[in-house]
């Protein structure tokens, strides 16, 4: 009998405690969120395991602070499902604007539909929406096609200056739209320049380690390659390392897209001949500006295709280039 009484007493205490706790939570939830004086902008990255998207985040956060907005970041880990989840969560949380780097252009329609329903301005940074859609504020992307053309031409010239016309390419996964655009542009100008793109090897993990191995294999299979086209930053680092091991630095030209402290350093040293800078930070800044404009009734620019300016060892120290570099990566990443 005593045991029963004791259990009932304990049970009752637990019950009361739970009720009080739940009540406190409810009250807290209702009252703890004050009317936010500052609007919040959410940045949804496709993944945060590569520096590029982290640098975009830096840009968004910096600009948001300047414009008097709060910032919150999400990552979609390359999954369209998670991306949609993040969008919903952000809206539930009460963000006023979204800057998004989508997992892929094809995953954007449901995102845009949802955000249109909730009247939330959204800007793209880095990767644009599916062609044909219009229900968004702004799209700040690099012009991959143009860059492809420019880099292809540059690489062909590098090869010809070294007495050959064979080019090898270290490419992004070709299921991505930006990669396909790069390749399309590059093929045009390479062919037009009289050069031959002998082999393309795609990366799987976007690591330097992999790029080194792939660059080595390119050079083994085609010893007469005179220039390497790197579609992503790590490709440049990897190619430089492979050339170094083979004693071919300078004898085989390397061009790369994106830009990072590592490749800038290699540019200084002459292992890489040219970098087509993708303004990661700049994309974040510009996209944030656009959504802020939308929130405050200012004019918005629907499409902002940023060029990827070329920097070579000759132009690296020009002030114009230095300004651009600051829009590529944050100071915390490394030297310029």
Partner 1 sequence: MAEPLHSSGTYQGALSVPASRPSMIGRLISDYRTELAIALAILVLEGVVSALVPNALTRGNLADIGQAASPLIIMAIGQLLVVITGGIDLSVGSVFSLTGMITALAMVHGFGAVPSTALGLGIGFLTGLVNGLLVTVAGLAPFVVTLITYAAGGSLAFIVTNGQSLPVPDQSYVLLNSGALVPGVVNYALFCVVLLVACELFLRRAVAGRWLYAVGSNANASRLLGVPVRRTVLAAYLGSGLLASFASVLSLSYISNAEATAGSNLMLQAIAAVVIGGASLFGGTGSAIGAVLGAVMITAIQNGVNLIGVNSFWQGSVTAVVILIAVLVDRIGKGRR
Q: Does residue 278 interact with partner 1 by CB under 8 A?
A: no
| Of positions 72, 82, 84, 206, contacts partner 1 by CB under 8 A | 206
Q: Does residue 265 interact with partner 1 by CB under 8 A?
A: yes
Q: Which is nearer to partner 1, 94 or 173 (CB)?
A: 173
Q: Does residue 251 interact with partner 1 by CB under 8 A?
A: no
| Contact in structure between 90 and 100 (CB atoms under 8 Å) | no
Q: Does residue 331 interact with partner 1 by CB under 8 A?
A: no
| Contact in structure between 148 and 186 (CB atoms under 8 Å) | yes
* Residues near 254 by beta carbon (within 8 Å), at least 6 away in sequence: 158, 227, 228, 230, 236, 239, 240, 243, 271, 272, 273
Q: Shortest gap between Cβ of 121 and partner 1 (angstroms)?
A: 28
Q: Does residue 76 interact with partner 1 by CB under 8 A?
A: no
Q: How does 274-290 read in b/e, with b if 16+ C-beta sit within 10 Å?
A: bbbbbbbbbbbbbbbbb
Torsion of CA 257, 304, 43, 296, to 10 degrees: 160
| Contact in structure between 170 and 186 (CB atoms under 8 Å) | no
Q: Does residue 235 interact with partner 1 by CB under 8 A?
A: no
| Of positions 262, 288, 290, 324, contacts partner 1 by CB under 8 A | 262
Q: Shortest gap between Cβ of 311 and partner 1 (angstroms)?
A: 19
Q: Which is nearer to partner 1, 70 or 207 (CB)?
A: 207
Strands 138-142 and 303-306: parallel
Strand order in the sheet with 196-202: 196-202, 166-171, 225-230, 253-258, 274-277, 310-312
Q: Does residue 187 interact with partner 1 by CB under 8 A?
A: no
d(C-alpha 46, C-alpha 100), whole Å:
8
Q: Shortest gap between Cβ of 214 and partner 1 (angstroms)?
A: 6
Tokens of 31: 């009252």
| Of positions 70, 213, 307, 312, contacts partner 1 by CB under 8 A | 213
Tokens of 110: 């449901």
| Contact in structure between 193 and 160 (CB atoms under 8 Å) | yes
Q: Shortest gap between Cβ of 278 and partner 1 (angstroms)?
A: 16
Residue in the block written with tokens 């082999």: 199
Q: Where are the alpha helices (DSSP H) in 33-124?
A: 51-66, 80-93, 108-117
| Of positions 21, 221, 323, 326, contacts partner 1 by CB under 8 A | 221
| Of positions 42, 46, 54, 186, contacts partner 1 by CB under 8 A | 54
Options 8-16, 106-114, 286-294, 328-336: segment touching partner 1 (CB under 8 A): 328-336
- The packing angle between helices 208-221 and 233-246, to 10°, is 50
Q: Identify any residues that bridge with 168 across adjacent strands, giving them in sequence order.
A: 199, 228
Options 82-90, 248-256, 257-265, 282-290: segment touching partner 1 (CB under 8 A): 257-265
Q: Does residue 51 interact with partner 1 by CB under 8 A?
A: yes
Q: Shortest gap between Cβ of 164 and partner 1 (angstroms)?
A: 17
HSE (side-chain half, CA atoms, 13 Å) at 176: 20
Size of the site for partner 1 (CB under 8 A): 38
Q: Does residue 174 interact with partner 1 by CB under 8 A?
A: yes
Closest by CA to 282, choosing from 322, 333, 326, is 326
Q: Does residue 78 interact with partner 1 by CB under 8 A?
A: no
| Of positions 6, 38, 191, 209, contacts partner 1 by CB under 8 A | 209
Residues lying near partner 1 in the complex (CB under 8 A) are found at 48-51, 54, 173-174, 199-202, 204-209, 212-214, 216-218, 220-221, 223, 234, 237, 241, 245-246, 260-262, 265, 332-334
């Amino acid at each position: 009998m005593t045991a029963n009484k004791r259990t009932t007493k304990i049970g009752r205490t637990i019950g009361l405690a739970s009720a009080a706790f739940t009540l406190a939570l409810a009250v807290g939830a209702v009252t703890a969120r004050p009317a936010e004086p500052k609007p919040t902008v959410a940045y949804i990255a496709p993944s945060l395991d590569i520096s590029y998207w982290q640098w975009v985040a830096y840009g968004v956060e910096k600009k948001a602070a300047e414009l008097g907005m709060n910032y919150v970041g999400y990552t979609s880990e390359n999954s369209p499902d998670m991306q949609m989840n993040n969008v919903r969560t952000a809206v539930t949380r009460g963000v006023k604007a979204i800057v998004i780097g989508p997992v892929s252009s094809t995953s954007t329609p449901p995102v845009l539909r949802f955000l249109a329903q909730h009247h939330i301005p959204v800007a793209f940074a880095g990767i644009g929406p599916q062609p044909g859609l219009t229900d968004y504020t702004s799209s700040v992307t690099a012009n991959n096609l143009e860059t492809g053309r420019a880099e292809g031409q540059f690489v062909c010239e590098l090869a010809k200056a070294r007495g050959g016309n064979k080019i090898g390419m270290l490419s992004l996964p070709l299921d991505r739209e930006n990669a396909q655009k790069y390749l399309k542009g590059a093929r045009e100008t390479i062919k037009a320049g009289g050069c031959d793109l002998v082999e393309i090897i795609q990366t799987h993990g976007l690591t330097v380690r992999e790029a080194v191995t792939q660059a080595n294999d390119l050079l083994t299979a085609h010893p007469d390659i005179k220039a390497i086209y790197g579609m992503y930053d790590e490709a440049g680092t990897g190619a430089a390392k492979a050339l170094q091991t083979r004693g071919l630095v300078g004898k085989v030209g390397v061009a790369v897209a994106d830009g990072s402290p590592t490749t800038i350093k290699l540019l200084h040293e002459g292992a890489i001949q040219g970098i087509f800078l993708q303004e990661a930070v700049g994309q974040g800044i510009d996209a944030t500006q656009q959504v802020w404009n939308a929130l405050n009734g200012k004019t918005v620019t629907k499409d902002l295709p940023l060029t990827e300016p070329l920097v070579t060892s000759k132009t690296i120290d020009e002030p114009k280039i230095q300004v651009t570099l600051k829009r590529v990566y944050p100071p915390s990443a490394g030297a310029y």
